[in-house]
Amino acid sequence: MKKLVIVAIGGNSLVRENGRDSVQDQYEAVCETAVNIADMVAEGLNVVVTHGNGPQVGFGLRRSEIANEVAGMPEVPLVNCGAETQGGIGYQIQQALINEFAKRGMNKKVATVITQVEVNPDDPNFKNPTKPVGSFFTLEQAEEMKREHPDWIFIEDSGRGYRRVVASPKPINIVEKDAIKTLIEAGFVVVAVGGGGIPVVKTEKSSYVGIDAVIDKDFATSLLAEQVQADTLIITTGVSKVCIHFGQPNQQALENISIEETKQYVAEGHFPPGSMLPKIEASLNFLEKGGSRVIITNPESLKDAIQEKAGTHIVKKNNS
């Protein structure tokens, strides 16, 4: 089979500078990434696409809360808000890819798989929410909201402002993995584990039920990459390169780093939880479970990054 590349599109990378949750703005961002993905397919690679939903699931949750407060509409549970973002973003990616392939006269099929991802109900992350969702706020705005909703938790997110956080258990099993594998083998470009997958737990009777949380899409992508034996993992996000001393005057962008160097930077605390750390941990996990290379970059640099002219590349050096 041709080499398999997994491209994980960051939720924040689909939200434009103006911060508006405009579906049209988001579709334009999706279309730009679709061009790069079509280039990869044209070069003979098999591609699986995953995506985040951090901003979008938070917007959806807030819409539901406001509709409840203002108009008495029933609230939408967080797990369903996540499922809705998986469908909504998956629809945009699927459509953008189909249109891009058609424009180029490429005979390539695309399918989005609604993906449930099993988590452990006793995962300690349920008691310690770390996943930032929705909009960025100033400290004053966050304090104001906290007075109104004492149970909400906010964190400072990588110098970009304060965001509400929700529980983010680790993915343990991709329920629809066989369907995803079958579609890949049949030559489809598959969009899967959107938003990290819809979090579900198994009951004593072995049936699945949804649970309120947002799984980190980087961890879910790494698990999928392992299960479908991908060769390369590409994570697109808001920065062209991973940095050490991020946001400090001595910030330094990283181009090629080994597993050992990456672990050293993790130990030195260069990557915050909830933003860059999950990407780095997922990358290390992917490489240690048999993957060949990882690229982290922004959507604009994707094409150059694949040719090793941009982005951060985490590589196995000396057969490590």
Ligand X SMILES: NC(=O)OP(=O)(O)O
Nearer to ligand ADP, 30 or 243 (CB): 243
Q: In this chain, which of 54, 134, 291, 299 binds ligand X, going by CB under 6 A?
A: 54
Assigned token pair, 197: 């997958």
- Asked if residues 237 and 107 have their Cβ atoms less than 8 Å apart, the reply is no
* Cα of 232 vs its chain's centroid, Å: 16
Alpha-carbon distance of 215 to 234, in angstroms, equals: 18
Q: In this chain, which of 46, 50, 52, 294 binds ligand X, going by CB under 6 A?
A: 52
Q: In this chain, which of 6, 7, 13, 60 binds ligand ADP, going by CB under 6 A?
A: 13
316 is catalytic: no
Does 311 bind ligand ADP (CB under 6 A)? Our answer is no
Q: Are strands 256-258 and 116-119 parallel, antiparallel or unpaired?
A: unpaired
> Using CB distances below 5 to 8 A depending on partner kind, what does residue 196 bind out of ligand ADP, ligand X, none?
ligand X
Q: In this chain, which of 36, 116, 158, 240 binds ligand ADP, going by CB under 6 A?
A: 158
SS3 244: strand
Question: DSSP letter at 73?
Answer: P
Does 217 bind ligand X (CB under 6 A)? Our answer is yes
- Asked if residues 280 and 271 have their Cβ atoms less than 8 Å apart, the reply is yes
Nearest alpha carbon to residue 111 among 179, 196, 33, 57: 179
Does 220 bind ligand ADP (CB under 6 A)? Our answer is no
> Using CB distances below 5 to 8 A depending on partner kind, what does residue 192 bind out of ligand ADP, ligand X, none?
none
Does 216 bind ligand X (CB under 6 A)? Our answer is yes
Nearest alpha carbon to residue 189 among 119, 263, 95: 95
Identify residue 248 by its one-letter amino acid code.
Q
What are the distances in angstroms from CA 106 to CA 99, 181, 234? Answer: 10, 22, 23
Q: In this chain, which of 214, 233, 287, 295 binds ligand X, going by CB under 6 A?
A: 214
Does 272 bind ligand X (CB under 6 A)? Our answer is no
- How many CB atoms lie under 10 A from the CB of residue 307? 8
Nearer to ligand X, 77 or 98 (CB): 77
Q: In this chain, which of 6, 10, 86, 312 binds ligand X, going by CB under 6 A?
A: 10
Nearer to ligand ADP, 188 or 274 (CB): 274
Q: What order do you get walking across the sheet with 208-210 strand by strand?
A: 171-174, 116-119, 198-202, 208-210
Instruction: Please choose, out of 38-46, 183-191, 232-240, 284-292, the segment that lies near ligand ADP by the rule CB under 6 A.
Output: 232-240
Alpha-carbon distance of 293 to 315, in angstroms, equals: 5
Which candidate in 10, 90, 279, 291 is catalytic?
279
Q: In this chain, which of 46, 52, 297, 301 binds ligand ADP, going by CB under 6 A?
A: 52
Instruction: Please choose, out of 7-15, 224-232, 289-297, 310-318, the segment that lies near ligand X by the rule CB under 6 A.
Output: 7-15
Q: What is the 3-state secondary structure (H, E, C) of 130-195?
A: CEEEEEEECHHHHHHHHHHCCCCCEEECCCCCEEEEECCCCEEEECCHHHHHHHHHCCCEEECCHH
Q: In this chain, which of 272, 291, 299, 311 binds ligand ADP, going by CB under 6 A?
A: 272
Q: Report the nearest approach of ligand ADP to the CB of residue 246 (Å).
A: 3
Which residue ranges make up the site for ligand X (CB under 6 A)?
10-12, 52-54, 195-196, 214, 216-217
Which residue ranges make up the site for ligand ADP (CB under 6 A)?
10-13, 52, 54, 158, 237-239, 242-243, 246, 270-272, 275-276
**Residue numbers annotated as active site:** 11-12, 131, 217, 279
